[in-house]
Chains A and B, each alone.
Chain A
Amino acid sequence: MKTRLSFLLGSLSAALVAFALTSPRVVAADKVDPVADAKAFRNYFFQKFPDVKHEDFVNGPYSMNADMKRQWLEKEEFPPYEFALDAGKEMFSTPFKNGKTYADCFPNGGIGIRQNYPYFDGKEGKVVTLELALNRCREANGEQPYSYVKDEMASLTAYMAFTSRGKPMDIKIPDDPRALEAFENGKRYFYTRRGQLNFSCASCHVQSPGERIRAEILAPALGILNAMPIYRSEWSGMGTISRRFITCNSQTRAVPLEPQSDEYRDVEYFLSYVANGLPIAGPGARP
């Protein structure tokens, strides 16, 4: 009887110790902690690709494949986004009908600020992307907004990114539960499987960067937005971040969301925040 009782007590204490050891982990896992998430995110890629220089992750597939990188460096002498860059510069400096320009809508006249977008707007309680801010600027000045997936928006963001080249991504998450929620929502969107192919963003860009999907080499998720907007040979033209998200969704056979929907804004916030410290490399060129 005594033996049975002591065995029972022993099992109970072992169970309690096990519970005590595991429960803090569960709590920690459920707490929104962008700093820890970003650290884990970066470490995952740094450890998976120890030979890739950290700042090189922003070059997407070129950081994963030496042959492609060589071809790309040669192409950079006459980059395919050059026309968009010139057009963007001209558009940026051309006054609206009311005489104002984009420079009037942005801090520092819109020059060298790409690394601070997207940001969390405390007044609106939502994430504001650069594309969204540009269209809001247009509308505030009596102009029609541009399509989020067409050339004009890509040209404007190409020019603004170019003025920030080399500056480290610097996304802030203010001490505001709504900002943390936006970050968490973006993270959830990134890891959630969707479409008939049952793919999440992470299926390609976390689990398989450097691998081929048909003829393409998949880019790592780390720094994937730092080179936006991009000229894609596949598109025969420029593409914005909105276009990139929409295309990714379609490729998994999911109906894309509307450009600048809350989900897309939040996933841009998440991906940009975890890339903090990596240089802006836009506009970029991709196969």
Chain B
Amino acid sequence: MKRSLTLAMLLALGLAPAARAANEADYKAAFAAAEAASKEAAGLRNQWTVTVSTLAAARKAADGGDFDRATAAAKEAEALAKASIFQAASEKEVWKAMEIR
């Protein structure tokens, strides 16, 4: 029992990704994805102010060399942009539910 518990713990530790600080490459990848989603939202004329400000915060953190914060902000900006894209798509039909008839 004891041995299997130890084995299981070792296995779990081995499988768990090692927590490491984000580097510039991580940031660049996250920022590129966020920027692409943001451009798509702007093209739909449904950009959110928070997407723009979070992207700017990511850029500022990267300029200061804080790639952990920059990557996290870029990922958040991507999520916000994707939410605004979803909103634009769903509102194409859903707006009618609010109409006074």
Contact = CB atoms under 8 A, between A and B. Distances in A.
Interface string B61-101: 00000000000000000001001100100010011101111
A254 B100 contact: no
A250 B52 CA distance: 12
Interface of A: 29, 37, 40-41, 44, 187-188, 191-196, 198, 200, 202-203, 206-207, 250, 253-255, 257, 263
Given A193-B98, A263-B45, 8 more contacts: A40-B101, A41-B100, A192-B95, A196-B50, A203-B98, A206-B100, A250-B49, A254-B47
A196 B48 contact: yes
Majority SS at the chain B contact face: helix
Nearest to B46: A194
A191 B49 contact: no
B34 to A, nearest CB: 15
16 contacts: A29-B101, A188-B95, A192-B95, A193-B87, A193-B98, A195-B49, A196-B48, A196-B49, A196-B50, A250-B49, A253-B48, A253-B49, A254-B46, A254-B47, A255-B48, A257-B45
B91 A192 contact: yes
A40 B52 CA distance: 38
Contacts of B99: 187, 191
Contacts of A41: 100
Nearest to A262: B45
B11 to A, nearest CB: 42
B86 to A, nearest CB: 11
Contacts of B80: 196
B22 interface: no
Contacts, number: 54
B95 A191 contact: yes
Contacts of B95: 188, 191-193, 200
B7 interface: no
Nearest to A187: B99
A106 to B, nearest CB: 31
Nearest to B97: A191
A198 B91 CA distance: 10
Nearest to B94: A193
A202 B42 CA distance: 22
Contacts of B84: 196
Nearest to A43: B100
Contacts of A29: 96, 101
A200 B48 contact: no
Nearest to B80: A196
B75 to A, nearest CB: 16
Contacts of B52: 255
A118 B100 CA distance: 22
A284 B45 CA distance: 31
B49 A254 contact: yes
A98 to B, nearest CB: 37
Contact of A193 (B42, B49, B91): B91
A41 B100 CA distance: 6
A224 to B, nearest CB: 14
Contacts of A250: 49
Contacts of B47: 254-255
A198 B99 CA distance: 16
A194 B91 CA distance: 9
Contacts of A193: 87, 91, 94-95, 98
A191 B42 contact: no
